[in-house]
Structure 1
Amino acid sequence: MSSSLSPSSSPTHVPPAPRLSQVMGERPSPVVGWLANRVMDALCALPASVRDGFARFVGWLAFTLGIRRRVALENLAHAFPEKSEAERRSIALGAYITMARVVIESIDTRDLVNLSWVAPEAPGGDWEALKAHVATGRGALLVTAHFGNWERAGKLLPQWGVPLDALVRPLKGALNMRIVDNRVAAGVGLIYPKGAIAQAQEAVELGESVLMLLDQALPAKAAVFVPFFGRLASTTPALAVVAQRTGAPVFVVMGVRDASGRILRIEVEGPIPAPPAQEGQDPIVAHTAAVTAVLERHIRRHPGQWLWLHRRWKVQPPAAQLTPGGEGRG
């Protein structure tokens, strides 16, 4: 069961813990950074309809120029063999537009001042379950994907009283650093890959919730392989490891766009328990697979909102997990 939510009361700003506000990454030179930020300021100052039109144009242009288009269409052919080529191309175009929208929306420093982009829907059961757990002073484990607008979804949670730390990678460049700075300004703490499991465990024990993206390929030695759209995909085991060590509940949180693409609805599903123990089955793999299945269900409902241009299946599973034809068993 999943539920949607929107702000039902005044936002409550929850700043990140001091140990998690450090921004790691490579910033541009002061001159380049200043110029880039002035350009981004000018873009953000445009009317919302103009900004969205620009995002749609940028997405269309990238798709038309063929930037990673082959990757997106190959992924879609595997995921939706029953769909026509025209349908898959339409989904792929939607993914490019989604990416352009996320970038443009994520550089806007006024995001949490004007919440007109949040769908006016009342909180539901699974959101209430998350809030009830957080109210006890214990943290939860939250999972999302590169879907809809994951940046805005994450920024909203601290405003609604969920102390949040996000597992992120160090970035570089003026645009990326602005996005990271906006995360911290929104009250999101940052956990970086080195020592991430220990930091996430500590955060949960301190009553902070931890948000992870579970749809990125990892090197085989650091990953577990679980079914995702019928193929085994390398996936971080960090979520299931921290859940096992802390007993924290796991919720999926997705920022879903409406038909116009400009309004976001936050959907919460959970808690998602680890499957019952079975002989010969790794509980970490089983829990990771259960959560990944929930992500896949959301993506299937809105396929144009996931980033199909990511090489999600580029890392091959061990030979023992492959079928004779070479595909990962799903």
Structure 2
Amino acid sequence: MSAPAPSSESQRLPLPLPPTRLVQVLGERPSPVVGWFANRLMDAVCALPASMRDGLARFVGWLAFTLGIRLRVALENLTHAYPEMSDAERRRIALGAYISMARVVLESINQKDHVEAAWEEPEVKGEAWEALKATIAKGQGALLVTAHFGNWERAGKMVLRRGIPLNALVRPLKGALNMRIVDSRIAAGAGLIYPKGAIAQAQEAMRLGETVLMLLDQSLPAKAAVFVPFFGRPASTTPAMAVVAQRTGAPVFVVMGVRDESGRRLRLEVEGPIPPPEGLSEQDVITAHTAAVTSVLEKYVRRYPDQWLWLHRRWKVQPPPEGSAAPQA
């Protein structure tokens, strides 16, 4: 049986190249020997049929859950988020989150993913997607926000495959597996923006009519964060998205890679633009805009709870005492 033809959208749009100013890889690579053996092992895994790779991901996720790796953190988070649920239901969601994470890892080390997956993914539809494409077509930049949900790595590649220049705000990584994922990002066409100087580089991307993708569900030190509600609890969150939006006027869209019931196929869902609230002070606008976008992320997590990374200590940083200095824009 012949492979299905790629969608007309995939045929029309060439794969973007990473901006040359944003291809620097920061991090710590393993020794050449360790790196060679690790990459050959990952090559062997990626050569398996898709059904076997997914079976391996489900086994690895189940094993990590069974061994209790960070299980206490996941169940504590779920207890706070869903106090009305039974323990059995919370454990079911936690197991799904472990499997989802294993799938992300195995899918993200596949260096051919940005080519192969284009044959399987449905076209993106909806007013928000059309608004995002229209923004880029006019030569304007846009801010994209996502979370550790579904497959955030593949979601970015889906945006790139549809002809939208994308730069991802990332942290320096280390180790063979992580550096393989970094190399895969660049091979897919993504530019990399690191925390030092991130706001200035994001503003430059807006000026050039590109997009910047940010994960908005990670804890930051209190001095660098704004605190916004997430599942009814204050969560330390980067203000970078709201700061850049305020300084540049760039529209903000939420972009989520949502798995279907099989777990093997992904669709891209887009919401926005999400405007900043009006009539507030500069600092209050930053906090309120961050909260508005975070509420959209929470909506997706509530809709598909087993696709979010409950293993992360999202609420570990508490708000500073009243009267402490707020982060500066």
Q: TM-score, normalised by structure 2?
A: 0.93
The 1:280–1:110 alpha-carbon spacing in structure 2 relative to 1, beyond 3 Å, is closer
State, as a whole percentage, how many aligned pairs show the same letter: 75
Given that 2:253 and 2:273 are in contact with CA atoms closer than 8 Å, whether structure 1 keeps it comes out as yes
Q: Are 2:269 and 1:303 aligned?
A: no
Segments of 4+ moved more than 3 angstroms:
116-119, 278-281
In the alignment, the residues of structure 2 paired with residue 299 and residue 51 of structure 1 have an alpha-carbon distance, to the nearest angstrom, of 25
| Gap runs ≥5 in structure 1 | 1-5, 322-330
Matched, 1:198 2:200: yes
Give the C-alpha shift of residue 276 in structure 1. 2.3
Gaps of 5+ in 2: 1-6, 324-329
Could you list the per-position Cα deviations for residues 169-204 of structure 1 after superposition, in whole angstroms to 9, with x for gaps in the alignment?
000011100100000010000000001111111111
Q: Give the secondary structure class of the aligned counterpart of 2:113.
A: coil
**Cα distance in 2 for residues equivalent to 1:80 and 1:188:** 36
Matched, 1:248 2:250: yes
| Letter of the 1:211 counterpart | L
1:28-65 CA deviation, whole Å, 9 max, x = no partner? 11111010000000000001111101100100110111
Is the 1:169–1:192 contact (alpha carbons within 8 Å) kept by the matching residues of 2? yes
Deviation at 1:155, TM superposition (A): 1.3
Letter in 2 for 1:285: T
Amino acid at match of 1:112: H
CA RMSD after TM alignment:
1.5
Give the total of aligned pairs: 316
Q: Kindly tell me: are residues 157 and 279 of structure 1, through their superposed partners in 2, closer, same or farther at Cα, counting changes over 3 Å?
A: closer
Q: Which residue of 1 aligns with 2:70?
A: 68
Which residue does the alignment assign to 1:54? 56
CA contact (8 A) 1:117 1:264 kept: no
Counterpart amino acid of residue 207 in structure 1 = G
**Could you tell me which amino acid in structure 2 is paired with residue 226 of structure 1?**
V
Where do residues 70-219 of structure 1 align in structure 2 (5 Å cutoff)? 70-115=72-117, 118-121=120-123, 123-219=125-221
SS of equivalent residue, structure 2 residue 114: coil
Secondary structure in 1 aligned to 2:117?
coil
Larger helix proportion of the pair: 2
The alpha-carbon distance between structure 1 residues 15 and 49, as it changes in their structure 2 partners (threshold 3 A), is: same
Distance of 1:91 and 1:301 partners within structure 2: 12
Which residue number in structure 2 is paired with residue 9 of structure 1? 10
- How far apart are the structure 1 equivalents of 2:60 and 2:34? 22
Query: How far, CA to CA, are the matches of 1:193 and 1:279 in structure 2?
Result: 26
Alpha-carbon contact 1:274-1:287 (below 8 Å) kept: yes
1:233 and 1:216 map into 2 onto residues whose CA distance is 9
Distance 1:189 1:200, change over 3 A: same
1:202-228 CA-partner distances (Å, limit 9, x unpaired): 111111100000000000000000000
* Contact 1:8–1:122, Cα closer than 8 Å, also in 2: no
Cα gap change, 1:127/1:280 in structure 2, threshold over 3 Å: closer, same or farther?
Answer: closer
2:245 counterpart SS class: helix
Partner SS, residue 120 of structure 1: coil
Please give the alpha-carbon distance, in whole angstroms, between the structure 2 residues aligned to 1:159 and 1:196.
Answer: 24
Question: Match of 2:148, as an amino acid?
Answer: H
> What CA distance in whole angstroms lies between the structure 2 residues aligned with 1:296 and 1:50?
32
**Which one of the candidate residues 278, 292, 312 is aligned to 2:314?**
312
Whole-Å Cα distance in 2 between the matches of residues 277 and 183 of structure 1?
Answer: 39
SS in 2 for 1:267: strand
- The one-letter amino acid of 1:295's match is L
Distance 2:75 2:288 in 1: 29
Deviation at residue 24 of structure 1 after TM alignment: 0.8
